[in-house]
Chains A and B, each alone.
Chain A
Amino acid sequence: MRDFLPFPDFSDAAAPRDVSRLRAEVRAFLDEERASGAIVPGLQTWTSFDRGFSERAAARGYVAMTWPKRYGGHERSAFERYVVCEEFLAAGAPVGSHWMADRQSGPQIMRNGSEALREEVLPQIAAGKLTFGIGMSEPDSGSDLSSVRTKAEKVEGGWRIEGRKVWTTNAHHADYLIVLCRSAPKTEDRYAGLSQFVVPLDAPGVTVRPLVNLTGEHELNEVVFDGNVVPDANLLGKGGDGWKLVTEELAFERSGPDRFLSTFGLLKVLVAAQAGNPDSHAAIEIGRLVARLSSIRQLSLLIGDLLEQGRSATAIATIAKDLGTGLEQEVPEVARRLMAERPARGATDSAGALAFAILSAPCFSLRGGTREILKGIIARELGLR
């Protein structure tokens, strides 16, 4: 077995970093947002869209924290960004407007975008004014992304796009979508000939239609590209290397606090309901969840450190996501067994939080790579042949 994490850790790890001031600042900001009604505890996740919240967060320097100043960033450490992210998520803040762009699309453009594109979008993302969507899945391409059929055809000065993307979060609010296309005919190497493009959604020939999810919310969409042309500058990478870019991008989305805090709002509700004097059974169940959360968070923090040092963390990042999303799903299951309430959709009390978590839970182990895909990656990394 490959040693994913050396144990014990002989590396003389750096002294614990003091981020208490940053946490205090972020919490003060979140208190203001709660007071103004922008945060509805227990009923929001990191896909909840609120452009105003994102702009106010950006004004405080909480978006694009690690990016270079010339693109509107703040050149803070990855650990400081982590702290802000987990504080936002633990508070249940509606970060959906900037989340994808800050976590995934912006860094992707920074690494593989043209200079013109960087200058066009990065400062705007950093200001909290742009929303990005991820255009990967298609009606016939879920887990098997190499089978995408959306086509990019080279034309004078750009690329003509034709096809259909589905289950695209917040596309109806988004300014841009990063779209995975087949840009060269399929060969024996099914991962070759794919490319990613940054596509403005206000272009003629692009249509966004709602796909209402089972909670009754409109967050998912179908996006149809009917021959719209994007300029050459909007191609990411060299062209044809889209699969490599996708894989890199997914490594960044796997191990963050958004993969274990999605139902933290309900956990708070559950703990509050038992506050005074939990019986032994409730204490054990809650303790099990809290201890699990604490352990997974330590793994997530450790991965953050490794990525910041430029080291690869494919296996353990995949593990963090698989276990984290499993925990997110376990919270509503434990809560429904311990709480007296019947779940009530849309209610602003604990019954509403319970319903929201139960109804949202199925997607935790689907989005960004299903549990089965994750386990396959872990098995491969374990050396199972």
Chain B
Amino acid sequence: MSDIARMLDETAERLLSRHFATAMRGSSESAAALLAETKEAGLDLVLAPEAAGGLDAGTLEASAIAYRWGYHAAPGAIVDLMLLNGLSGVAGLETVSGSAIVLGEGIHVGPGWVRPETAHIVSAPVIGGETSRLLVCARGGEGTLVVAVLDAAGVERRKSMAGEDIVLLDLAAAEPTAIHATGRDFEAFSARAALLTSSAILGGTQRLLEIAIEHANTRKQFGKPLGKFQAIQNMLAEAASEHVVGQAATRAAIAAQDAGALRPLQWQSAKIQCGRAATTVAAAAHQILGAIGFTEEHVLHHYSKRLWGWRDDWGRQAGLEKQVGEAACAHAGGLWPWMVD
């Protein structure tokens, strides 16, 4: 399988390098062009079933693509796009294009739609220009993945921190037009979504560390490179450490998922750790790049804005911490075996 992952990694890298050689970062034309190039290369179909023209590949393969997107701070919600196409043709979801996709955290779909009692606002990135539907991926009976289709035409649109379109919907005020029981495992779906988001984060933090180290080694103040100052060295050491432990946790969780042996603690920890890495690395990069990095013309903000968003995409950092904490407390009598067995 890793041959396919390697090939996808190379394809994504080639595509993105070529795109950013000429593209104007931050423009909607660039984003639209990149989406077209992505579809032309078939990278959006990595998780799609073979019947839908996809590769039906595993988390590792999709992770390679997400990582490259993060490494280039590329526009477009690549994780959402891959997950969305992964549902294409599944349990009656014939058309997924033109949809946005979101994790229905705290939503449980019984035999029918269980309307949240209080306002429950979700937001999802718009893929391409059009979003007529929102697919809410929720937990159904026996832990299966259920997809509730909500009409998103004409709903409020906002901008993400990175300046991309998102739709906003109150699940308590909406009525699904259809509910699809996929028969797939909800937990596995959530885990995959979290791990792909973690991979995108790690691509971003990797590149930001490279940029910050390069700057620290070349920018001189007080007659010497910034990297000679112990305070700068310590800040970068700390940032790189958060990145590395995020890599280790995510690698292990991806391998476990593809081997069919993933435990919730593993992917939840990986996503939590990558969220922490996003915060720490972005802060260090901004501190080291100084005023230069606070301008729109420098590439840094394209990275930091995406990292600040991904921290809470497909598994909010604090929400996952709460889940881990509750599970730990439920296993208080055997905390260690629960953690490692």
Residue pair A384, B233 in contact (C-beta under 8 Å): yes
With A291-B324, A379-B233 in contact, do A10 and B339 touch (Cβ < 8 Å)? no
B322 contacts A by Cβ under 8 Å: yes
For A315, the chain B residues whose CB sits under 8 A away are: 244
CB < 8 Å neighbour of A290 from B206, B245, B325: B325
A110 CB to nearest chain B CB (Å): 28
Instruction: Using CB atoms and an 8 Å cutoff, list the residues of chain B in contact with chain A.
Output: 1-2, 5-6, 9, 60, 63-64, 67, 199, 202, 206, 209-210, 213, 216-217, 225, 227-228, 230, 232-234, 236-238, 240-242, 244-252, 254-256, 259, 261, 265-266, 268-270, 272-273, 318, 320-326, 328-330, 332-333, 335-337, 339-341
B223 CB to nearest chain A CB (Å): 15
Residue pair A287, B244 in contact (C-beta under 8 Å): no
For B325, the chain A residues whose CB sits under 8 A away are: 278, 282-288, 290
Instruction: Give the CA-CA distance A383 to B242 in the complex, in Å.
Output: 17
For B206, the chain A residues whose CB sits under 8 A away are: 1, 7
CB < 8 Å neighbour of A295 from B67, B238, B273: B273
With A1-B206, A323-B245 in contact, do A375 and B251 touch (Cβ < 8 Å)? no
- Identify 9 residue pairs between A and B in the complex whose beta-carbon atoms are under 8 Å apart, listed by A's number: A7-B67, A12-B1, A275-B332, A287-B272, A287-B321, A319-B240, A322-B241, A382-B209, A384-B227
For B236, the chain A residues whose CB sits under 8 A away are: 379, 382, 384
A310 contacts B by Cβ under 8 Å: no
With A5-B244, A295-B249, A382-B237 in contact, do A288 and B272 touch (Cβ < 8 Å)? yes
Instruction: Using CB atoms and an 8 Å cutoff, list the residues of chain A in contact with chain B.
Output: 1, 4-5, 7-13, 15-16, 20, 23, 27, 86-87, 90-91, 264, 267-268, 271-272, 274-278, 280, 282-288, 290-299, 301-302, 315-316, 319-320, 322-323, 372, 374-376, 378-379, 382-385
A16 CB to nearest chain B CB (Å): 6
How many cross-chain pairs have Cβ atoms below 8 Å apart between A and B?
204
CB < 8 Å neighbour of B339 from A7, A13, A294: A294
Residue pair B244, A319 in contact (C-beta under 8 Å): yes
Instruction: Give the CA-CA distance A383 to B333 in the complex, in Å.
Output: 46
Residue pair A275, B329 in contact (C-beta under 8 Å): yes
Residue pair A7, B247 in contact (C-beta under 8 Å): yes
Q: Which 10 A-B pairs have the closest CB atoms?
A: A287-B325, A283-B325, A287-B324, A379-B233, A287-B321, A299-B248, A378-B237, A275-B332, A295-B249, A286-B325
Residue pair A298, B248 in contact (C-beta under 8 Å): yes
For B210, the chain A residues whose CB sits under 8 A away are: 1
Closest to A275 in B: B332
Instruction: Give the CA-CA distance A379 to B228 in the complex, in Å.
Output: 10
B260 CB to nearest chain A CB (Å): 10
